[in-house]
Chains A and B, each alone.
Chain A
Amino acid sequence: MGNITLRELWDRKWSLLAYCLGSLGMLLLYIATFRSTQASSQQLQALVKAYPKGFLDAFGLNNLAPTTIEQYLDAKHFSFIWPLLAIILALSRAAAEFAGEIQTGTMGLVLSLPLRRLQIFMAKYAAGLITILVFTTVSVFGIIPAATAYNIPSHLHILVPAWILTSLFMWSIYAVGLLVSVWVSDKTKVYGIAGGVIMLSYIMNLMALLSSRLNTFKHYSLFYYFDTQDVLTKGHIPTHSLVVFAAVIIIATGLAAWHFNQRDISV
């Protein structure tokens, strides 16, 4: 089993490195502008104070006077750009590991090994999970050296819960992507179907933020439970977020494992 996991990680090491460096680079860019943004925050607050709260929430403009680097990065990085990177990375891994290998026929090589289907699933899953943890670790704990370089204090009691939440969010996206990936035999279908579901989930949250009449929609969106503002301000993860992410991960992973174990693979 270990050889499959290691091989998966080795084959996709450059893309993981690129994503990590990309995330780290953006962190550095934002951290470099933290002090100057703090200085002009009063003017920005005055500029947007007349905007509706829902609009400010939807576009991450609700905290233009950040007191900590974590709050600042929430507004600049973790509320939009980082989730986008995380979604693309998680879906590309999920798509490549199963549908991609079935599409190219290389799954035949793996299936000819003396391993049970569930062992193959778990080996590939482990590679995906390690990728997620490496990316979230670099993305979140990378703040510490980057902030230190600019003499800006960072707060471990905030970063640890932030790492847990970002990891759970990315893991959920990966699990949803995997569920589609084991069902189809074409990578583009994974991007289309899982990407569509995630986009719909994002739109539902956006609609709930923009209209109080559609407020209940937010409960059906993963993005509502990915409350980076709460975690990067107070270091607090709401219980409902933990429950929902755990449920999505367990259900999607369980269904994916079950289907991969019983499906026909014509390679």
Chain B
Amino acid sequence: MASAINIKGVTKTFGSKRALDDVSLTIPTGQVYGFLGPNGAGKTTTIRCLMDYIRVSRGAIDILGKDAHANSAELKAVVGYLSSDVQLHDNWTGKDHVNFMASTKGRGRADELVKTFNLDLSVKVRNLSSGNKQKLAIILAFVGQPKLLIMDEPTRGLDPLLQNQLYELLREFAISGGTVFLSSHNLTEVQQLCDSVAVIRAGKIVAAEAMKDILQLRVHLVQAVATKAINKADFKLTDVEIQHSSGKTIALKARGEIDPIIKALATYNVTDLDVSHASLEDVFMEYY
């Protein structure tokens, strides 16, 4: 599968601060790709580099097979962008915004999406609610004929109903051959929506996996009840964290092999045992 985005050893420094440190990432075409990380990890910096708003200090970025810096203008004709901190002209109407973008990119699906989101384009932005501003920003990202959508926290400010509408829209876009690269804080959203996910921490990519693989990373939550009091010392094992222990009950989180826990539990008469795969959030937290 051809890659929609290929980030090759990108480092970005702001003075002495290293915001991105040798970041490499490949985003395949036709996927919804999630980009996770806490505040300040480098998500927005990466996205701004993709959009050529800021220039990389080292490394290179290819988008749809073309250099993102050298071919920036050409690429923006086929890239839809949604910023995390949507900033629109307060004294413009929604129609002014759409017309402004459409004058160089073509209207594309703008009118259809205005109807889908039930947005009144005649209202000035200063009079729109934050949710409606976000709707307008999403519509602007779809103006023209985008092949790639780069979205920085696209569901911020949207109510659950609209979030679901957006998820549907993004899935349709990916099914029709488009690629979505979206950053999010919302792990549930990423888990529901994305085919693959990358995790960035302190400017470095710490994981880049298919969603099914990241969910199957070996993080298990084990809860056991025995017939006699459980000795915590028996469970002080490598990569095992005792989350809770009280009398005959113990709750453990295991990273990696689960076998040492099973062997330790085998010395007890276990009456109840619950083993579950960690949620994406738990897996994610293991990286931080």
Task: Please tell me if the beta carbons of A104 and B87 are within 8 angstroms of each other in the complex.
Answer: yes
Q: What's the Cα separation between A112 and B74 when bound, in Å?
A: 11
Known A264-B55, A266-B54: A105·B77 in contact at CB below 8 Å: no
Which of A20-28, A113-121, A170-178 forms contacts with chain B?
A: A113-121
CB distance from A212 to the nearest CB of B (A): 48
B48 and A106: CB pair below 8 A?
no
Whether B53 contacts A264 by the Cβ 8 Å rule is: yes
B73 touches A115 (CB 8 A): yes
Closest to A110 in B: B100
Contact B76 A112 (CB under 8 A): yes
Contact B104 A114 (CB under 8 A): yes
Given contacts A119-B73, A266-B54, contact A113 B48 (CB under 8 A): no
The CA of A11 and the CA of B51, in the complex, are separated in Å by: 26
A266 pairs with B53, CB closer than 8 A: yes
Q: How far is the CB of A91 from chain B (nearest CB, A)?
A: 21
Q: Let me know if B53 and A3 touch, CB within 8 A.
A: no
A13 vs chain B, min Cβ distance (A):
12
Residues of A near B74 (CB, < 8 A) are 114
Residues of chain A with a CB closer than 8 A to B166's CB: none
Number of B residues with CB within 8 Å of any CB on chain A? 28
Q: Flag whether A18 is at the interface (Cβ < 8 A).
A: no
Question: Is A199 located at the chain interface by the 8 A CB criterion?
Answer: no
Q: What is the bound-complex CA distance between A105 and B87, given in angstroms?
A: 5
Q: Shortest Cβ distance from B126 into chain A, in angstroms?
A: 12
Chain B residues contacting A112 (CB-CB under 8 Å) are 51, 76, 79, 81, 101
CB-defined contacts of A11 to chain B, threshold 8 Å? 89, 91
Chain A, residues 220-231, CB within 8 Å of chain B (1/0): the string is 000000000000
Residue A239 CB within 8 A of the other chain: no
Determine the distance from Cα of A50 to Cα of B76 in the docked complex, in whole angstroms.
Answer: 69
B-chain residues with CB within 8 Å of residue A267 when the two chains form the complex: 53, 83, 87
Q: How far is the CA of A115 from the CA of B76 in the complex (A)?
A: 8
Chain B hits for A7, CB < 8 A: 100
Report how far A264 CA is from B19 CA in the complex, Å: 13
Q: With the chains together, A166 CA to B52 CA distance in Å?
A: 39
A-B residue pair count with CB separations less than 8 angstroms: 63
Asked if residues B48 and A266 are in contact (CB atoms below 8 Å), the reply is yes
Give the residues from 101 to 125 in chain B that come closer than 8 angstroms, CB to CB, to chain A.
101, 103-105
Contact residues in A for B77 (Cβ distance below 8 Å): 114
Instruction: Report yes or no: B100 in contact with A109, Cβ–Cβ below 8 A.
Output: yes
B83 to chain A, nearest CB (A): 5
Chain B nearest CB, measured from A124 CB (Å):
14
Indicate if the CB atoms of B88 and A109 lie closer than 8 Å.
yes
Interface presence of A151 (CB below 8 A): no
- Please indicate the chain A residues that have their CB under 8 angstroms from the CB of B105 in the complex: 113-114
In the A-B complex, the 5 residue pairs with the smallest Cβ-Cβ separation, listed nearest first, are A105-B87, A114-B77, A264-B54, A114-B76, A3-B103
Q: List 7 A-B contacts (CB under 8 A).
A: A106-B89, A112-B81, A113-B101, A119-B73, A264-B54, A265-B54, A266-B53
Interface residues of A, Cβ cutoff 8 Å to B: 3, 7, 11, 104-106, 108-109, 111-116, 119, 262, 264-267
Residue numbers of B with Cβ under 8 A of A are 14, 48, 51-55, 72-77, 79, 81, 83, 85, 87-89, 91, 97, 100-101, 103-105, 140
Inter-chain pairs besides A3-B104, A109-B100, 8 sampled, C-beta below 8 Å: A11-B91, A105-B85, A105-B87, A109-B87, A109-B89, A111-B51, A115-B76, A266-B54
